[in-house]
Structure 1
Amino acid sequence: MNKKMVIPVLLIAVIAAAWFLFFNKKKEPVVDEKLEAIKVSKHSETFNQSMQTVMTAYFDMTKGFVNWDTDAVAKTSAVLKIALDSLKIGEIQKDTAIYESALGPLDNIKVEVTGLMADTSLAKKREDFNMVSQNLYDFLRTIRYDASKLYFHLIYYLCTKPFYNKWLCKRFSYRRNVDRS
């Protein structure tokens, strides 16, 4: 073979090899994955579970009031009282300022639930439930409850004497209670 032909063929082979080695890599598509932050509560799992039991009983009682069901309100108020008595509040004792501030609303909730259980008329029970809701909201703010998102709603009752109440809710919505009296 001719020397003049070998050098260009060799040069083309080197360039082709270099191109395949360095420049012919398929670029993988960039996947824009957004990592979700792990939700970490500042309270222990046992406290959050006992608080969830309280909130479940509270929401069940709310359903009883919405449905004007005095039997359901009576049953769920007893369940709420038991859940409040078994609330694992001991871990909050680490921060004495928060613990002492949280005891007031918690004791008020227990007193109001006891009063709610003793009342016979649904209107009086609703007034007590309003106080339970306000004190529970204050308690949750004091301990900085962070296991789930809750909203504090203004509820309007249509009855013989219309009035407003505030309740805790799992999601934000406008709710109007109808007159069933």
Structure 2
Amino acid sequence: MSFKVGVPVGLLILVTGLVACHSGTPKEEPQQAVTSAALQAPYNQVFYDSLGTAMASYYRLSDALVQADSVVANRVATDLKLHVDSLPVGLLQMDSTHLANISGITGSISAELAGFEGETGLDGKRAAFQMVSDMLFDLVKNTGLKGHTIYHQYCPMAFDDKGAYWLSDKPGIQNPYFGHKMLTCGETRDSLTYK
């Protein structure tokens, strides 16, 4: 392909991608559309305090990826791994099968975070972040997070239009998969509010 043909084709692809991201739904859904009724979080408050600390680290990791800051992302991923590893799952009063599932989820999150720093580029770090996001959402859905609302957000263009989810503590979109290239690309697909 010659340079004269390649540049317009490249610009056309870029414009099409930007339009696709911003054309579907509004950047922020109306609050009543995404907020469900408050769910029960019936387990020990010590567990929820620990999970809340882990989620705060997760949100800092998301922010580091929005900023495309690999150094901060590595440091925060290490911090998040420590918090996940120290979750007091033994305090959860549930049947052994359910408890084994929770332990499996936390072990998988920890393993994914262990490999995070070894990823050399932001694309690899963002792929690991996607896995962590999906597993953390499963964890919160299974245990709850007393006193918190979790926004389940989605970018349709992440990973070559395969799409990817992440979690946020606020309804506004700050896309960790594209950062400032497409900061507000995405939508809130669901929210979990726990009392």
Match of 1:54 in 2: 54
CA contact (8 A) 1:155 1:165 kept: yes
Match of 1:87 in 2: 87
Runs of 4 or more, structure 1, over 4 Å off, are: 156-159
Structure with max Cα Rg? 1
Q: Offset at 1:49?
A: 1.1
| 2:88 maps to amino acid | K
| Sequence identity percentage | 23
Q: Offset at 1:158?
A: 7.6
| 2:170 maps to amino acid | R
51-60 or 99-108: bigger deviation: 99-108
Which of 168, 178, 181 pairs up with 2:180? 178
Match of 2:23 in 1: none
For residue 179 of structure 1, give the secondary structure of its aligned residue in structure 2: helix
For residue 178 of structure 1, give the secondary structure of its aligned residue in structure 2: helix
The CA RMSD measured in Å over matched residues stands at 2.5
- The alpha-carbon distance between structure 1 residues 164 and 96, as it changes in their structure 2 partners (threshold 3 A), is same
> Tell me, which stretches of 5 or more residues in structure 1 are unaligned?
1-38
CA contact (8 A) 2:102 2:139 kept: yes
CA distance in 1, matches of 2:158, 2:137: 24
For residue 108 of structure 1, give the secondary structure of its aligned residue in structure 2: helix
CA contact (8 A) 2:156 2:162 kept: yes
Match of 1:105 in 2: 105
TM-score with structure 2 length normalisation? 0.64
CA contact (8 A) 1:157 1:178 kept: no
- Deviations 1:90-143, CA, capped at 9 Å, x for gaps: 111543232122122211111111111221111001001000000111111122
Match of 2:153 in 1: 153
CA contact (8 A) 1:65 1:126 kept: yes
CA distance in 1, matches of 2:75, 2:152: 24
Match of 2:136 in 1: 136
Map 1:16-27; keep pairs closer than 5 Å.
none
For residue 152 of structure 1, give the secondary structure of its aligned residue in structure 2: strand
TM-score with structure 1 length normalisation? 0.68
- The alpha-carbon distance between structure 1 residues 157 and 78, as it changes in their structure 2 partners (threshold 3 A), is farther
For residue 128 of structure 1, give the secondary structure of its aligned residue in structure 2: helix
Match of 2:166 in 1: 167
Q: Offset at 1:144?
A: 3.2
Match of 1:73 in 2: 73
Higher normalized contact order (CA 8 Å, seq sep 6+, divided by chain length): 2
